[in-house]
Amino acid sequence: MLVKNGTLHLPGGIVQSGWDILTQGEHILRIGENLSCNDTETIDATGFQVFPGYILAMSSVGAHGFGERVYDDSETTSSINPHLDIVHSFDLRELKRQRFSRTGITSYGLTPGAISLIAGQMAFIHSDGARTEDVFIRKSMAMKANYTSMAKSASAEKTPRTHMALYFMLDDAFREAKAYMDKDKKDYDEKNVQLGRVLRGEIPFLVNAFSPQEIEAMLLLADKYAIRLVICGAYGIASCAAKVIEKGYHVILGDLTYMLYATRYGTDPSQLLSLYRQGLKLSLATSNDTAYPPGYEQLMWAVASFASAGGTPSELLEMITINPARALGVDDIVGTLEEGKLADIIVCKENPLTRYDAKVVTCITAGRVSYSEN
């Protein structure tokens, strides 16, 4: 496929007008001027803006169980579930109903929900595909946890009722996993095997922590066990930002309109933008692991809020593409328009980073047109 003569938004804030993208199979083969290839499907992008596909760092869409009206993304018979894998709750029909491609969202971190303390393993998937096996890009690529009041409301009879209990249970789980790793001879234990991957730094540990107190507790846990912490929700991150920047932890900001969390914790896009320029690794997301359908509107509302605070188009693009890819550890395959990466490309009429009324006219997912306005 050849995307011809568009205005390309490339890594580092570089914008090139009149450039082309040539794809081969699922990947970008070449980027440059005056590219051509015989017998190639051509998309004329003259006068249009061309971006990498947007990435939602976290979404439970596909695992909520909307069709059955049960939340299939949250196991509540136990609070500690590192052995559970979200792929076994995935329903392609639910993903197709969302129609992400119309809005330029080409991939996301498929995550367990917001209830269990350690909720389970995440996967990274495309937002469109004919078959289930078509959408999965990487399985078991992160561990999801929740250190918020929601983790105290699980339906199991014996659940933690305080943050004291939540922290102890997390600490105890990691301590047990560390002891398991240190044994020369041991019986197989899937829970400890998966937590061992977190302890070895093989996969990131994404944890919902909203208030400053919750974030500080997770910073202590990360220090103790040297884990690749990613703080999600993070509405009260400003008061802890210096430590987060120093450690290089990623932050995935939750939906600024959800449950008034931003108001409760004084989340200020202007302040966060200033911290971003000081080194805070920030991604924008939606609160779509909390059992309501997420949407493009929430994501772009966050973009508009940061634009109003003075964010530049290149900064905003980073926050919804390469930054979430880096947080999830998949930046080698998605997040930017680069040769060798997956051909996740959107062609837009006007610039969605400067105009809220801009729209996607063509979406290409893994080298295949997944949406076209025509």
Report the share of the chain in percent with pLDDT over 70. 95
Give the predicted TM-score (pTM) of the model: 0.95
Token pair, residue 138, equals 């990487």
Output the pLDDT for position 291. 55
Consecutive sets of 10 residues in the chain, 374 residues long: mean pLDDT of each?
Answer: 97 96 97 92 96 95 76 88 96 89 95 93 96 95 95 70 93 97 91 98 97 97 98 96 97 87 92 98 85 70 94 97 98 98 97 91 97 91
Residues 266-292 pLDDT 10s: 999 999 999 999 999 999 988 778 755
**Burial class of residue 287 in the structure, from the number of CB atoms within 10 Å of its CB (0-12 exposed, 13-18 middle, 19+ buried):** buried
Contacts of 39 (CB under 8 A, 6+ apart): none
Output the pLDDT for position 121. 98
The DSSP symbol for 151 reads: G
Token pair, residue 181, equals 């790793």
Q: Are 178 and 154 in contact (CB under 8 A)?
A: no
Q: What backbone torsions phi and psi does residue 105 show, to the nearest 5 degrees?
A: -85, 110
- Name the E strands within the chain: 2-9, 15-24, 27-32, 42-44, 49-52, 54-59, 105-110, 118-126, 136-146, 205-209, 229-233, 250-253, 281-284, 345-349, 359-365, 368-372
Token pair, residue 43, equals 């998309």
Token pair, residue 39, equals 């017998």
> Tokens 């990274």 map to which residue?
124
C-alpha 331/C-alpha 339 separation (Å) is: 13
